[in-house]
Amino acid sequence: MQPRITASLRARGQSLWLDNITRGMLDDGTLARYIDGLSVTGLTSNPTIFNQAVKGSTFYDKAIVAKRAAGRTGEALFFELAIEDLARAADLFRPIHERSGGVDGWVSLEVSPRLAYDTASTLAAARDLHARAARPNLFIKIPGTPAGLPAIEEAIFAGVPVNVTLLFTRDQYLAAAEAYLRGVERRIDAGLDPRVCSVASLFISRWDGATAAQLPEPLRNRLGIAVGQRCYQSYRDLLASDRCQRLANFGAWPQRLLFASTGTKDKSLCDHLYIRSLAAPHTINTMPEATLLAFADHGTLADSLSSGGGQAERVLFEIGRAGIDLASLGDTLQSQGAEAFVKSWDELLVVIEEKSRALA
């Protein structure tokens, strides 16, 4: 392992978060070792991660039995399990959260993916889950779908920290940023503290998986990084805007850009491609555990992302000429992502029910 390479990512100003959580890694000290030895300063989760954690281990069995005996079933039982795990993780990251003044040291819990197109229910769930977790460094993940955007604004206005998930295009990112800014502006107008944290999670690798068969060899596996570079330029422009500078004068925090889905799907590629290519200050890269370990073992870093804007636009232009409609594909990827989380969610609830019956 090269703890120096993970530390060098942080030296560039990028936070390294883990896109995984299991009760096992909490119990055996693995997460604590990643924090101490590999510069991990935050953590994200989603329905697929929890589905794999519950299905693939016995760490949750006793808790499932006890909660079932207490009358908990379905979503209620799952959220108790998830909040227990994430509260423990949040406590591990709490010193980082305090040292960074609230910028870093966050964990994330997602609302039910079945609410992705239900604004009112998403908002109600976000407020409830955040109150139940009772941790200042816990984000509630809300998808950046058209129906999710009003819920994001209302959650920020209500003081709930939000991780906006399932963003794929620049337009989707900017819409999420707009929802965040409106929520903060409304808090200022109402005389409330404008310091409500948020991150905007841009999914990277799914672009390349969706287009590999359609693109000529020179353009394959370049789309995800180019989209990341394009969004990063828009992010930097937004931070420098009069609007954001005005909010900063009131004490508001900027919504940080987070690169998600950064595990390499194509085994013929560098196993830390999206880590080495997306290093940029004032951003976050949340990576699967296997990618974290690969990067720590033999990782390298390319030039800072801030130098790649012009190259990104050239790549995107060539990909558009090759027949890829980026806006349409981005909407499709967002819809498919929401559907995939619903599938994992349904499987998770089935696994919990089957384990409940078997263990009983």
**Euclidean distance between the first and final Cα of the chain, in Å?**
43
- Report the 10 Å Cβ neighbour count for 100: 16
Q: Find out whether 137 and 15 touch, Cβ atoms under 8 Å.
A: no
Contacts of 1 (CB under 8 A, 6+ apart): 37, 38, 293, 296, 297
Q: Find out whether 160 and 133 touch, Cβ atoms under 8 Å.
A: no
Gyration radius from the chain CA atoms: 20
**Annotated active-site positions, please?**
141
Q: In angstroms, rounded to a whole number, what is the distance separating the alpha carbons of residues 280 and 288?
A: 19
Q: In angstroms, rounded to a whole number, what is the distance separating the alpha carbons of residues 97 and 89?
A: 12
Place of tokens 């696994």: 351
Q: Find out whether 82 and 110 touch, Cβ atoms under 8 Å.
A: no
Kindly report the backbone phi and psi dihedral angles of residue 191, in degrees, each rounded to the nearest multiple of 5, phi listed first: 75, 20
Number of residues assigned to the chain? 360
Q: In angstroms, rounded to a whole number, what is the distance separating the alpha carbons of residues 175 and 169?
A: 10
**3-state SS of 74-111?**
HHHHHHHHHHHHHHHHHHHHHHHHHHCCCCCCCEEEEC
Q: Find out whether 237 and 188 touch, Cβ atoms under 8 Å.
A: no
Sign of the dihedral through C-alpha 54, 60, 65, 69: negative
Kindly report the backbone phi and psi dihedral angles of residue 141, in degrees, each rounded to the nearest multiple of 5, phi listed first: -85, 125
